[in-house]
Amino acid sequence: MKGQGIGFGKAILFNEHFVVYGIPSIVTAIGKYTVAKIEPYDQPTLILEDNRNATPNYKEEKIDQQYDSINRILKKMGIDTSKNGIKITLNGNLYAASGIGASAASCVAIGRALSDYYNLNLSDDEINDISYEGEKGYHGTPSGVDNTASTYGGLIWFQKGENNIIEKIPISNPIEIVIGNTGKVANTSAAVAGVRERKEKNPEKYKEIFDRTENIAYLAKRALREGDYKEVGKLMNENHKLLQQIEVSSRELDFLVNVAREHGALGSKLTGGGLGGNMIALTPGKELQEKVTNAIEKEGFQTMKTVIGASRGGIE
């Protein structure tokens, strides 16, 4: 008896951090994913084998959070491994790093694999709820945006509230992007706490920034629907500037963002929690994607070539 499940990586195109405060964000599944496999284990316990490629120290630094996350998932699903043990193995082509939804992808993959293993036939909505619970192990109080993209795929408008607003944004074709990895493992909880603290100290400055980010989200949704990628890129650049103003960027992120722009990216910005982790560059067409990838790699940083708007049928 075995179980298997998949969860997509993600990139936030607009409004990470702001999303926590009810500002709309736009998030996309990317064409890379984590696969979880579950099989019986002969001891009454849980064993984890994590075979994902990762940023150095990422898995080591996250190990306690990872076990907390898995235990939350098991509890939410009412599964007790102290009677019948299981082994969870993680694989897939999503690099485990900060900012690309690695934790959410593993939560979704594990949730789906458990559903498969125990023949629970859970719906995507149920998997999303379970994954949100798992994300608490990594992020304390997550917005829910990462697990939503990881569960459903595609390009998603997400607004946190009493009832989260989740809408698919239709685009005609997946769009090429480059993700650049600073190589720094970021602490998302610390970044979120820092923003909250500074916002309380300087409410007027932050209100102005937050109002503009809300406006950007609506403009970006329209530009994506219309296929106006130049406008999407301009708005990404502005969004990065606002993220700099709330102090969640870093020297390495700003450097990679500038390298991408200098080599033709239509727009580039940090993606995810910031303070390290990853940045994203909008590079429609294989030729531009290749050019920006080479420029970032030439500076000694790792890249990932993928697409935004990936759906479950569009797994690379």
Quote the tokens at residue 156. Answer: 């998603």
> Residue 91 is which amino acid?
N
Give me the residues paired with residue 176 across strands: 307
pLDDT on residue 315 = 43
- Distance (Å, rounded) from C-alpha 143 to C-alpha 101? 12
pLDDT on residue 309 = 80
pLDDT on residue 312 = 58
Note the pLDDT tens digit of each residue in 224-257: 999 999 999 999 999 999 999 999 999 999 999 9
Note the pLDDT tens digit of each residue in 200-231: 999 999 999 999 999 999 999 999 999 999 99
- Distance (Å, rounded) from C-alpha 107 to C-alpha 104? 5
- Distance (Å, rounded) from C-alpha 132 to C-alpha 106? 11
Q: Largest alpha-carbon pair distance within the chain?
A: 59
- Distance (Å, rounded) from C-alpha 88 to C-alpha 294? 36
Residue 313 has pLDDT above 80, yes or no: no
CATH topology of domain 3-168: Ribosomal Protein S5; domain 2 (3.30.230)
pLDDT on residue 53 = 93
Note the pLDDT tens digit of each residue in 55-103: 888 899 999 999 999 999 999 999 999 989 999 999 999 988 777 899 9
* Residue-range domain boundaries for the chain: 3-168, 175-314
pLDDT on residue 139 = 82
Contact 120, 74 (CB under 8 A): no
H helices then E strands: how many in the chain? Answer: 9, 10
Q: What's the CATH superfamily of 175-314? A: GHMP kinase, C-terminal domain (3.30.70.890)
Q: Do domains 3-168 and 175-314 have the same CATH topology?
A: no
| Confidence band for 185, pLDDT divided at 50, 70 and 90 | confident
pTM of the full predicted structure?
0.85
| Torsion of the alpha carbons at 105, 111, 116 and 118, rounded to the nearest 10 | 160
Contact 160, 143 (CB under 8 A): yes
- Distance (Å, rounded) from C-alpha 65 to C-alpha 46? 15
